[in-house]
């Protein structure tokens, strides 16, 4: 994102799951990005 925040979704190489990582400029933005990442993964 323009402020340097980012979101990464990747498949685990050792377990049948996806991992969601994020770094943001505020706790509120971090939580919003995690929710968005989960929605992408779940197809909502």
pTM value is 0.79
Q: Within the chain, how many helices (H) and strands (E) appear?
A: 1, 2
Determine the straight-line distance between the first and last CA of the chain, rounded to whole angstroms. 22
pLDDT at 5: 97
Give the pLDDT confidence of 1-44 residue by residue, as tens digits: 999 999 999 999 999 999 999 999 999 999 999 999 999 999 98
Enter the DSSP assignment of 25: S
pLDDT at 14: 93
pLDDT at 31: 97
pLDDT at 44: 81
């Amino acid at each position: 994102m323009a402020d340097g925040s980012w979101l990464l979704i990747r498949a685990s190489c050792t377990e049948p799951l996806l991992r969601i990582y994020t770094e943001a400029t505020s706790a509120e933005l971090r939580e919003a990005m995690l929710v968005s990442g989960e929605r992408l993964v779940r197809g909502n």
